[in-house]
Structure 1
Amino acid sequence: MWKGNIGTVLLLGLAACASDARWKQFEQTESALMKAREFAFIDCSGNDECAQRWIRTRQYIARHSATRIRRADDANIETGRPLEAGVVYLWATRTPVGPDGERAHIRLKGMCKGMYGMDGGPGLLYAQCAEQIRSIEMNFRSFVLAPNEGPADDAA
């Protein structure tokens, strides 16, 4: 009988260690995602520059979202939510700055169904989703700021 209790205690101890390791990994990955979000943000100045960067943002979203663009105007670009979990979809905002409206902030945000659990912690597909989002957000700025190469890829 005593041996069974030791086994139970060992199992509980292993589960606690695994849970602690999972939460530690989650915290590290969340930190990396926060850094990536800093790269998913650009400013523009002047109507021409802002219009060109917004067009490039739309192209980037069309290329990197698993779902099609369902809404796009001068302030928002939004792709549809996927039916299946583990699929990244994107959203961008263009927010005017200052009274003259000549400057704006453009921000990209990646989302993924199944990334977070009901407790706010990592969901079953957290690692897969986080890596996809991190990559997309980290590469956003360089794409938008690069010279336009070739025909537009507007798969909206």
Structure 2
Amino acid sequence: MILKKILPIVLLLFTALSFAQPHKEKREQIKQLKVAFLTTELSLTTEEAEKFWPIYNAFDEKQFEIRHDKMRGFMKRMDAESVNKMSEKEAAALLAQMEDTEEKMFQLRKKLNSDLRPIIGSVKILKLKKAEDDFNRKLIKQIKEKRK
């Protein structure tokens, strides 16, 4: 019980320290913190963990690739000046690309759920989603506090 209260605080402290490091090192450290956080929140058995982590890590890498490679490109083209200068045809093409990327993200999550269901069950999949959201909220809060 104490571990559940202390672990998030420790995770946030390590996260704060990670922002002084180069980008790749920060990403790795955040990933390690996320693994620790998810492991605690999901209470995975050894057998579950052995099967869960390879599937989840592959999902996480693919998700990162989609978000950062494709979405970053979209966001660069979405500043106010660029949008105002786009033709209707260009905007429609960009919107179609964005929808395609969002669909890929949805299908990726759907595949993760179907791959994990026989391993950890539906309840732990819901706990996973909640734990991911909680971790992301804490990380964003920490970043905002760091910037102040």
TM over 0.5: no
TM-score, with structure 2 as normaliser: 0.30
TM-score, with structure 1 as normaliser: 0.28
Structure with more strand by fraction: 1
Structure with more helix by fraction: 2
State which structure, 1 or 2, has the greater radius of gyration over its C-alpha atoms: 1
